[in-house]
């Protein structure tokens, strides 16, 4: 029980320093029928706080508090009508309820509250100056004693807003009557809270005026409670209040303590023992993989080899199908934006993991594949920072591209095993752990997390027995086991592998290239295909019927893992992503079918990830995040009593349950994926009803939802979903009692592509596991840039940890990465495309992170290795799409577009050294004009991170057609940044434009069409071009059925009595479109007839007369084909 004064702090044990005023507090309140919303914006030059958990002690930090009393009777002490919510700037909160018996406040565990906090600066760093922090919160009316539906304007309340300062042990209050800590909990000294019916209501002379939430149209829109004030109109325009922020004091040095030795327990890097049987794997969660190829690089000006779109020697187009937006320099695995578009659609379509198809480092284009890994990692990092959903990433290794001097690898030998592991480790070295696809084995199979690895091709020999897979797991454990939380590898083999002869594989005979079920193994796996177009096989798509039938067969087979072949393999014609031929229909079908792999009539949970430590000290508390997908057809709703909880088990016996459950604050709907915070603690209730530490030993931590009988009683009885057959998340955890210390690095913001000599401010997420908190200033974050062979440390640095590291709590720590060698010069570049004999060999560097104690020469055990590529320059740009783009422009004219430009690099662009230009491409991606005829200088110097708008002058092409305009930045004279090797999202932004009014006059042949020469896959017998049944494919007529040059939809009439609008003219398509690499042929364009079944769309020559528009012409261009099988002269 917390008695009066409410949550008062102990007086400072040191002499009182000089007090300094720090600024203002700006507050506001609004309401709707569910919540009271309050926002604080606090000026604070030094934001401090360590309370990050629910039901913690935010009053000990820089924090805010809202005190609310219901009714007109306001006494001098809290009662049942009095409540308070306190939120720390560090993110922790507590909710208090008045107790008339004790005349004080008591904590009330509730989780229906919403809140968010943002620090305008850096937390717990007194060596810089912060701006302050923002807190937004929403308190349900029912927690303030108001029945559901009972709130309305005019109901009397009292309110006070309080802000506390950690360093000065002081507070400030909105109510001028509150001057002491005792006053804080006296409702009679608070102010009226006026719930108004509209913003136009009369504003009272005293108190807090709270209008209802703003409206957009007729819809009330509540503020987004995220701690960010960035949307105009998010909060009402009136009702703001202001008061002085607390007094802060100069920080004082903490008394020095005797250094404590670092207790080190050797890390066990032996691979975990797995028991892989059909029965033990029954509980493994279902997943949907999609094969993801990175063998396209459509930018011939980059150092990475041009490949995958056109044959550079013959000009022949290499893709069976064409991407929706063309195959220009933006169609490249060397571009982060390319990965972003594909991965975003993949996750939206219900795919869990991108199955990255790679060969070995020594394979043809092995260096290009390596570069694509770096760019993929960069795209995932940026997408995560932008809050975009992403799939995880898994490895499919094409063993046909891994050889030993041209012969297949014999993996029964150490040399073969070493070469195969080298191909596997490249993926894990570059792709950070948080982006890898990881599942947890059922306890019967080992209970450990595993990374799926798939083998395709037939490049291995000596695969009999489990020796070779055991060797791979052993090598992985030695290098990645500890940093991956004890994870190991789980192997699946393609059509060249027999799991019956290789017991280290859980499945074999997986038909990657043709589709169907795995033919061997203990784990059912199925490949789903939409169709295929290769020289060896043609399976038509039949307007999606082939894909539907494949999915129905897969669902009937009830596999655990589904593999979609493929997401983006345009070369084989198996792609599901949007294409010129098929549009987005296969994305839509994928969304329909992926939701059907779960229990649509019941509850089906998919545990997508967690950061539960595998080792905990007895009695320790560790906040953990669990990511869950609702794969079933039933929503879990707060009003039904659902809460997230956990149990400690040994064998089948439950030895302890969570002391507090995490009640859902909003419905968890089918198909949603959400992350939940759990306050994990290794405690049990002893015989006297008190909490006591669990004994040391090995446990199974079972995380599960519980359905409470009484949803308001978080400690009450209920039924766990695992008791109804729903699979929980089970994590093996070892509890220890010694004083060991170690560090878990849970991720960093390190870019995958860096510049030598540049400085990068980074955030490293650190979970320190020690016997007690590490005080402010007692540790440092150290990094080393190491050569790939591990022999040379080429750069190193250290950043003091200017904050408390709470034991067991993952916190963000700031660090600065400066890529200079010990002499102060930039380190030597090293990257995958680096020519032999130049720079530092190895294709990149290892970046090693460590935590060191300032009172000890010992390093705290635990480290993280990242692999980075370092280049000579990082002059990166981002082009957000312009707000306004013309629908069309006149041929051979100059026009202006306002283009936003962001400097994403590390150096200032001097306006005298840079210009903005543009490049033109035909709509299939073939370059029309590289060098712009006009450029635009920068209006000012542009600093790193700065955004400007440039009025870009552009000269259009001379000929009609659909084009793509690409803005670009050049360092004078013509060094365009788009050709540089460093890539980030948005560095290339194609703009589609139609050019009209050129030199071509199109002749309308629709009235003289007399032949149906086109047939679709669905009706192949339609049409007859040559009186022998031959036809052209409807999917390629017109040449852009769904792409950038697709016919525009005709305008719709607004009413029946309005004259029907005229059809818009069909677009013109350049000759050679998606056929060869010749820009000259594309100067001539054509329009095409209808491809509908039965429609006439060609003219068979029979001496007809065709009238031409009047004009002076110098040439006639025909799109024609011969059908007679012999050469003849045709008079015109």
* pLDDT tens by residue, 1017-1065: 778 888 888 888 888 888 777 767 676 666 655 555 555 555 555 555 6
Do 504 and 403 share a structural domain?
A: yes
Neighbouring CB atoms inside 10 A of 895's CB total 13
DSSP state of 1083: G
Q: Is 461 in contact with 411 (CB distance < 8 Å)?
A: yes
Residue 279 lies in a domain: no
Query: Which of 721, 736, 751 delimits the end of a domain?
Result: 736
**Is cis: bond before 566, omega within 30 of 0?**
yes
Q: Is 898 in contact with 882 (CB distance < 8 Å)?
A: yes
Burial class of residue 881 (count of CB atoms within 10 Å of its CB; 0-12, 13-18, 19+): exposed
**CA–CA distance from 778 to each of 772, 805, 851 (Å)?**
12, 9, 11
pLDDT for the residue numbered 206: 87
Do 108 and 71 share a structural domain?
A: yes
Do 754 and 701 share a structural domain?
A: no
Domain span at 1007: 1000-1132
Do 827 and 896 share a structural domain?
A: no
Residue 277 lies in a domain: no
Q: Is 855 in contact with 800 (CB distance < 8 Å)?
A: no
Residue 322 lies in a domain: yes
Q: What is the dihedral of CA 296, 300, 303, 305, to 10 degrees?
A: 40
Residue 2 lies in a domain: no
pLDDT for the residue numbered 898: 95
Do 503 and 469 share a structural domain?
A: yes
Please name the residues in contact with 423: beta carbons below 8 A apart, sequence gap of 6 or more: 358, 359, 360, 361, 397, 402
Do 459 and 310 share a structural domain?
A: yes
Do 913 and 816 share a structural domain?
A: no
Do 629 and 566 share a structural domain?
A: no
Do 581 and 610 share a structural domain?
A: no
Do 1077 and 972 share a structural domain?
A: no
pLDDT for the residue numbered 428: 96
pLDDT for the residue numbered 364: 81
Burial class of residue 182 (count of CB atoms within 10 Å of its CB; 0-12, 13-18, 19+): middle
Residue 115 lies in a domain: yes
CA distance 1014 to 677: 58
The whole-angstrom distance between residue 125's C-alpha and the CA centroid of its chain comes to 29
Question: What ranges in 976-1024 are assigned the alpha helix state H?
Answer: none
Neighbouring CB atoms inside 10 A of 633's CB total 16
Q: What is the CATH number of the domain that holds 860?
A: 2.60.40.10
Do 889 and 756 share a structural domain?
A: no
Please name the residues in contact with 1029: beta carbons below 8 A apart, sequence gap of 6 or more: 1021
Residue 1032 lies in a domain: yes
The tally of domains found in the chain comes to 6
pLDDT for the residue numbered 8: 31
Neighbouring CB atoms inside 10 A of 537's CB total 12
Query: Which of 203, 219, 249 delimits the end of a domain?
Result: 249
Q: What is the CATH number of the domain that holds 367?
A: 3.20.20
Give average pLDDT by consecutive 10-residue segment, the chain, 1132 residues: 32 39 83 95 86 86 95 91 94 91 89 83 66 91 91 94 85 93 94 93 89 88 84 82 75 42 60 89 91 94 89 85 91 95 95 94 86 96 91 95 85 95 95 93 88 93 94 94 86 93 92 90 92 83 93 94 95 93 92 90 89 91 93 93 94 89 92 91 76 91 94 86 91 90 92 93 94 90 90 88 92 93 88 74 89 77 93 87 90 95 90 95 90 95 93 93 92 89 90 87 88 85 85 78 62 54 65 72 81 87 84 85 76 69
CA distance 305 to 263: 51
Q: What is the CA radius of gyration of the chain?
A: 33
Please name the residues in contact with 646: beta carbons below 8 A apart, sequence gap of 6 or more: 657, 658, 678, 680, 701, 702, 703, 704
Do 242 and 324 share a structural domain?
A: no
Residue 965 lies in a domain: yes
pLDDT for the residue numbered 253: 40
- Nearest CA to 518 out of 549, 494, 547, 489 is that of 494
Query: Which of 222, 249, 276 delimits the end of a domain?
Result: 249
The structure tokens 């069976």 sit at: 320
**CA–CA distance from 343 to each of 291, 587, 747, 878 (Å)?**
12, 12, 20, 19
Residue 254 lies in a domain: no
User: Strand 24-31 vs strand 35-43: parallel, antiparallel, or unpaired?
Assistant: antiparallel
CA distance 1037 to 1019: 15
- How are the residues of the chain apportioned to helix, strand and coil, as percentages rounded to the nearest 5? 10, 35, 55
pLDDT for the residue numbered 7: 31
């Amino acid at each position: 029980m917390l008695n009066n004064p409410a949550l008062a702090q102990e007086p400072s044990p040191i002499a009182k320093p000089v007090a300094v005023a720090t600024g203002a507090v700006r507050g506001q309140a609004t309401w709707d029928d569910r919540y009271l919303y309050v926002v604080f914006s606090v000026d604070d030059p030094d934001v401090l706080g360590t309370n990050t958990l629910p039901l913690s002690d935010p009053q000990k930090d820089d924090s805010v508090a809202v005190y609310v009393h219901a009714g007109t009777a306001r006494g001098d002490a809290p009662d049942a009508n009095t409540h308070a919510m306190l939120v720390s700037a560090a993110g922790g909160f507590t909710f208090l309820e008045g107790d008339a018996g004790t005349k004080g406040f008591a904590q009330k565990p509730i989780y229906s509250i919403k809140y968010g906090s943002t620090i305008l600066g850096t937390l717990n760093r007194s060596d810089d100056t912060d701006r302050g922090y923002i807190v937004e919160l929403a308190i349900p009316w029912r927690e303030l004693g108001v029945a559901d539906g009972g709130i309305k304007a005019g109901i009397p309340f009292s309110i006070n807003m309080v802000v506390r300062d950690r360093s000065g042990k002081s507070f400030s209050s909105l109510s001028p009557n509150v001057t002491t800590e005792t006053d804080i909990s006296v409702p009679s000294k608070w102010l009226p809270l006026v719930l108004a019916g509209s913003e136009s209501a009369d504003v009272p002379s005293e108190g807090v005026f709270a209008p209802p939430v703003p409206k957009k149209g007729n819809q009330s829109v509540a503020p987004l409670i995220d701690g960010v004030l960035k949307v105009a109109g998010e909060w009402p325009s009136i009702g703001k209040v202001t008061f002085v922020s607390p007094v802060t004091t100069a920080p004082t040095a903490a008394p020095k303590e005797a250094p404590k030795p670092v207790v080190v327990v050797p890390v066990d890097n032996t691979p975990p023992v797995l028991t892989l049987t059909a029965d033990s794997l029954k509980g493994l969660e279902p997943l949907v993989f999609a094969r993801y190829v990175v063998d396209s690089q459509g930018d011939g000006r980059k150092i990475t080899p041009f490949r995958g779109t056109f044959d550079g020697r013959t000009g022949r187009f290499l893709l069976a199908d064409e991407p929706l937006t063309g195959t220009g320099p933006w169609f490249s695995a060397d571009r982060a934006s390319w990965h972003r578009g594909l991965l975003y659609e993949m996750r939206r379509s219900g795919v869990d993991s991108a199955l990255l198809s790679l060969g070995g480092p020594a394979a043809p284009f092995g260096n290009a594949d390596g570069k694509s890994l770096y760019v993929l990692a960069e795209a995932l990092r940026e997408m995560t920072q932008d809050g975009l959903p992403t799939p995880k990433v898994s490895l499919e290794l094409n063993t046909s591209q891994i050889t030993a001097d041209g012969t297949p690898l014999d993996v029964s030998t150490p040399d073969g095993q070493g070469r195969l592991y080298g191909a596997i480790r490249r993926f894990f070295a570059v792709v950070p752990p948080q982006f890898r696809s990881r599942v947890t084995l059922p306890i019967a199979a080992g209970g450990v997390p595993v990374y799926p690895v798939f083998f395709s091709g037939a490049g291995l020999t000596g695969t009999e027995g489990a020796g070779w897979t055991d060797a791979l797991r052993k090598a992985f454990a030695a290098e990645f086991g500890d940093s991956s939380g004890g994870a190991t590898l789980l192997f699946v083999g393609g059509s060249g592998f027999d799991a019956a002869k290789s017991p280290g594989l859980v499945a074999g005979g997986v038909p990657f290239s043709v589709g169907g079920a795995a033919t061997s193994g203990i784990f059912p796996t199925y490949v789903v295909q939409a169709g295929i177009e290769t020289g060896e096989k043609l399976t038509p798509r039949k307007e999606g019927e082939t894909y539907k039938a494949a999915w129905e067969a897969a669902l009937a087979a009830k596999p655990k893992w589904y593999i979609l072949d493929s997401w983006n393999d345009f070369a084989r014609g198996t792609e599901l992503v949007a294409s010129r031929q098929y549009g987005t229909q296969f994305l839509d079908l994928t969304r329909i079918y992926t939701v059907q792999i779960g229990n649509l009539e019941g509850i089906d949970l998919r545990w997508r990830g967690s950061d539960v430590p595998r080792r905990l000290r007895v009695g320790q508390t560790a906040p953990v995040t669990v990511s869950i997908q609702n794969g079933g057809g039933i929503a879990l709703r707060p009003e039904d009593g659902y809460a997230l909880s956990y149990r400690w088990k040994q064998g089948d016996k439950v030895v302890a349950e969570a002391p507090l459950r995490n009640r859902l604050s909003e419905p968890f709907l089918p198909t949603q994926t959400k992350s939940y915070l759990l306050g994990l603690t290794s405690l049990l209730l002893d015989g006297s009803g008190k909490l006591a530490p669990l004994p040391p030993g090995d446990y199974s931590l079972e995380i599960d939802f519980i359905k409470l009988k009484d949803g308001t009683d978080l400690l009450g009885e209920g039924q766990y979903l695992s008791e109804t057959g729903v699979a929980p998340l089970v994590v093996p955890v070892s509890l220890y009692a010694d004083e060991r210390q170690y560090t878990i690095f849970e991720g960093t913001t390190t870019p995958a592509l860096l510049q030598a000599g540049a400085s990068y401010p980074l955030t490293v997420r650190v979970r320190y596991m020690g016997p007690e908190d590490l005080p402010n200033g007692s540790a440092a974050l150290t990094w080393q840039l190491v050569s790939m062979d591990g022999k040379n440390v080429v750069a190193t640095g250290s950043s003091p940890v200017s904050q408390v590291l709470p034991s067991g709590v993952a916190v963000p720590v700031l660090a600065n990465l400066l890529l200079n060698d010990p002499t102060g010069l930039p380190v030597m570049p090293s990257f995958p495309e680096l020519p032999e004999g130049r720079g530092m060999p190895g294709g990149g560097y290892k970046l090693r992170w460590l935590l060191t104690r300032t009172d000890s020469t010992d390093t705290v055990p635990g480290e993280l290795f990242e692999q980075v590529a370092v280049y000579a320059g990082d002059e990166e740009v981002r082009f957000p799409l312009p707000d306004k783009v013309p629908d069309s422009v006149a041929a051979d004219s100059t026009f202006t577009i306002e283009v936003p430009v962001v400097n994403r690099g590390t150096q200032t662009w001097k306006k005298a050294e840079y210009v903005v230009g543009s490049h033109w491409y035909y709509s299939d991606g073939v370059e029309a004009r590289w060098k712009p005829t006009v450029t635009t200088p920068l209006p000012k110097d542009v600093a790193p991170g700065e955004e400007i708008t440039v009025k870009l002058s552009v000269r259009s092409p001379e000929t009609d057609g659909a084009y793509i305009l690409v803005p670009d930045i050049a360092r004078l004279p013509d060094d365009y940044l788009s050709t540089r090797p460093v890539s980030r999202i948005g560095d290339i932004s194609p703009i589609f434009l139609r050019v009209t009014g050129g030199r071509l006059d199109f002749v309308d042949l629709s009235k003289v069409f007399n032949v149906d020469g086109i047939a679709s896959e669905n009706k192949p017998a339609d049409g007859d071009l040559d009186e022998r049944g031959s036809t052209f494919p409807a999917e390629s007529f017109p040449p852009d059925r769904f792409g950038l040059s697709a016919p525009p939809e005709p305008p719709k009439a607004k009413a029946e009595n309005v004259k029907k609008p005229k059809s818009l003219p069909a677009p013109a398509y350049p000759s050679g479109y998606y056929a060869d690499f010749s820009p000259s042929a594309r100067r001539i364009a054509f329009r095409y007839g209808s491809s509908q079944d039965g429609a006439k769309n060609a003219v068979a020559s029979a001496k007809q007369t065709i009238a031409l528009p009047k004009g002076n012409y110098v040439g006639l261009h025909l799109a024609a084909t011969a059908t007679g099988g012999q050469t003849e002269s045709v008079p015109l």
